[in-house]
Amino acid sequence: MPVIPGDGVRLRGLRPEDLDDLLIACNEPDMHRFMTALPMPFTRADAEDFFHLVAPRMFAEGGGFYAVADPVTDRLLGGAGLDRFQPGRAQAEIGYWTGPWARHRGVATAAVSALCAYAMTSGIARLELLTHRENAVSQRVALAAGFKPEGVRRDALPGHDGARADALAFARVAGDPPGPVERLLPDLPGGELTDGVVTLRPLRESDLPFYAELHSQEDVVATTVPPVPPSAEEMRRRCAWTASHWLAGDRADLVIVDTATGTPTGEIGLYYQEPRTGQAMIGYSMMPAWRGRGYPTRAAQLLSLWAFAETGIARLIAGALPTNLGSQRVLEKAGFTREAYLRSRLPGANGRRTDDVQFALLAEDLLTEGPRLDG
């Protein structure tokens, strides 16, 4: 089989000396979480079956499995393979993994890019990549290797104990330009935004207890659209799917943290609902004990500055219930201007509808007027 060179990696066939590293990698918790077809535990007999039976069968079916090795030491770093080859459509599915000792070095991206280039010079016109929604690391690899998101395949992935999960579908075709897919919402610089008083960081799975407490507050529920308490599963998904939504460019969910104590105090979200027009929306909620300190105003300004400086967003909007004068003051202090009163715009409680007061902020407004935190 050919040896495929890559950027800092080399793709080659499996060798007997790879089996010990294969055993370690395939017993790693994240491998079992997202590659549910792996036996658990993955024994030496399983490793030998993969070496002698599974990998040769993948080649016989038109695909193939390649060991991703260090080009200097030849140590196994991971694996990349082509499966589900459909000759009539000239397409296949690509998969990959990296051993825990080789992560955070761009190994997977380099391997996938090299294998894609080889496959497409060998007659494959389309490569598909499926990943678990909660596997943000895999989604980063897909985007970095030039795979474009194509949608969601519901319940496409078998899970443990009979459960199933959605798959995010990505694809790369022969005519796609080289290089990564441009993201609508980049990562925060250094992973957070701060003005010294409040810090904004992405919502995480570990924030679920805080998120559940915040969304059990009666007045927070009342300003939710629709005003219905989220279920336990909806809250779990919101926390677990933050990275996926951010990478997809449709929303950024953040926690408002008191910088001095590190305490989560509220949340703020940016919803990029109109990339074609460059318009996005923000919304926020605060825990009762932390209200009246100007934190949501600071958070709105931090998020607005980042959005205008680092994304294609040209216009931010926000809404408030006519009775929510506190939220309207927050927006005015953050530089937003009241633009409209929209009658019966939002679904309300018990089948009724409610009015919405709309505010907007442009980049030039923020630069011209500056913060009004003491207003």
- 358, 275: one domain: yes
pLDDT value of position 224: 87
> Residue 105: which CATH number?
3.40.630.30
pLDDT value of position 374: 47
Q: What percent of the chain has pLDDT over 90?
A: 85
- 144, 11: one domain: yes
- 223, 312: one domain: yes
Handedness of CA 104, 109, 112, 113 (dihedral sign): negative
- 34, 135: one domain: yes
pLDDT value of position 375: 39
Calculate mean pLDDT across residues 302-306.
96
pLDDT value of position 279: 97
**Is 184 inside any structural domain?**
no
Residues 144-201: tens digit of each pLDDT: 999 999 999 999 998 877 889 999 999 999 999 989 999 999 999 999 999 999 999 9
**Is 73 inside any structural domain?**
yes
- 261, 339: one domain: yes
- 80, 216: one domain: no
End position of a domain, from candidates 138, 173, 208: 173
**Is 180 inside any structural domain?**
no
End position of a domain, from candidates 149, 173, 197: 173
- 195, 169: one domain: no
CA distance 42 to 81: 19
**Is 71 inside any structural domain?**
yes
- 290, 217: one domain: yes
- What is the tally of structural domains in the chain? 2
**Is 375 inside any structural domain?**
no
Residues 103-155: tens digit of each pLDDT: 999 999 999 999 999 999 988 999 999 999 999 999 999 999 999 999 999 99
Q: Which domain holds residue 158?
A: 4-173
The per-residue pLDDT of the chain, averaged, comes to 93
- Asked which of 29-38, 195-204, 224-233, 321-330 is least confident by mean pLDDT, the reply is 29-38
Inform me whether the pLDDT recorded for 318 exceeds 80. Answer: yes
**Is 179 inside any structural domain?**
no
pLDDT value of position 369: 63
Residues 74-95: tens digit of each pLDDT: 999 999 999 999 999 999 999 9
Calculate mean pLDDT across residues 229-240.
95
**Is 332 inside any structural domain?**
yes
Residues 328-340: tens digit of each pLDDT: 999 999 999 999 9
End position of a domain, from candidates 124, 148, 173: 173
- 275, 351: one domain: yes
- 195, 130: one domain: no
Inform me whether the pLDDT recorded for 322 exceeds 90. Answer: yes
**Is 200 inside any structural domain?**
yes
pLDDT value of position 127: 97
Residues 345-375: tens digit of each pLDDT: 999 888 899 999 999 999 988 776 655 554 3
- 149, 290: one domain: no
- 106, 163: one domain: yes
